[in-house]
Amino acid sequence: MLGYVITDKAQLRVHELATYSGYYCGLCKEIGSSYGQFLRLGLSYDMAFLALILASLTDGSDEIVSEHCVIHHIAKRPVLHDESALAYATDMMMILGYENFLDDVRDGDKSKLHPMGLLLHRAYNKAAAAHPETAAQTKAALSRLCELEAKDNTSADEKAQCFADVMTEVFTGYAPVRSSNRTLAVFAANLGRWIYILDAMDDYSEDKEKGTSNPLFREGQDRRQTAGIVGPTLYHYLGEISKAYDLLDIRKNKGILDNVIYLGLRRTTDEVLSGKGRSKNGKRSI
């Protein structure tokens, strides 16, 4: 996932921000302990959200403590421990991270012998062994996406459906919340479509400049015109995400999740459509 599923931090209460940070930092430490310190560099808000929403469908309180880490070695940070949803999100991060690396290799951006790729390959094998069905279905959906992206006559909607399938596998593979899978599947599918189209819109100007392909390119259309066409589709997906979310049995951290679903996703959409989605270095902030 690409760093789009974020909070509207200014609207969070102090204790909600501490809990959210606990999930984020807890995920970072889980990555370090399970897969090595270097792979903590791949941490994203999207994976923290995955852990948060899955954990919030279960009972039990969040046990958050204040700890130092190698990055924040002066001031302590809130850290969540002993949460199985964090371990699951860590495994999903390794599966998606390696698939993303392979996509970069296909695009010529990276070599198969890149150090990160070698580390991710080892991590992928471990995560895939723990979640073989999810790994297999995710690989199949991304392979279909790769094939469609190589063709010029396929629509952005067809490609977005492949990523919808990926997100469905990721969100419904967590055993403790299988009773919610029907609603989670709808939620995740629409989230996947939103992410795919939003990312294509976010990359529009950069892809145009570099001459690389983009599923939203249409002859005679500029970025402003494309944003005007794509906007209603993105907001439609946000509506479908909200409808499915409202049906989930959220048992804790509802204030944080409400913030992401009703404020964070909308703000991200507005920023990308207006051309403000990327930071100065060309990457979304994490």
Paired tokens of 190:
């629409």
pTM: 0.93
The share of the chain scoring above pLDDT 90, in percent, equals 76
**Cα(253)–Cα(199) distance, rounded to whole angstroms?**
27
Spatial CA neighbour of 124 closest among 13, 231, 35:
35
Enumerate residues 6+ apart whose C-beta is below 8 A from 68.
74, 76, 77
- Whole-number average pLDDT of the chain: 91
User: Has residue 282 been placed in a domain?
Assistant: no
**CA atoms of 208 and 76, how far apart (whole Å):** 44
Query: For residue 132, which amino acid is it?
Result: P
d(CA 29, CA 43): 10
Task: Determine the pLDDT at residue 154.
Answer: 84
Between residues 54 and 115, which one has the greater pLDDT? 54
pLDDT-derived band at 98 (thresholds 50, 70, 90) equals: very high
Instruction: Give the CA radius of gyration of the chain.
Output: 18
Percent of the chain at pLDDT > 70 equals 94
Is 206 a residue whose pLDDT tops 50? yes
The number of folded domains in the chain is 1
CA neighbor of 94 nearest in space, from 158, 146, 36:
36
Instruction: Tell me whether residue 1 is in a domain.
Output: no
Q: Per the domain annotation, does 43 fall within a domain? A: yes
Domain CATH code at residue 174:
1.10.600.10
Structure confidence at residue 105 as a pLDDT band (50, 70, 90): confident
- 67: containing domain: 9-274
**DSSP secondary structure letters along 13-40:** -HHHHHHHHHHHHHHHHHHHHHH-GGGG
The answer to whether residues 7 and 263 touch, using CB atoms and an 8 Å cutoff, is yes
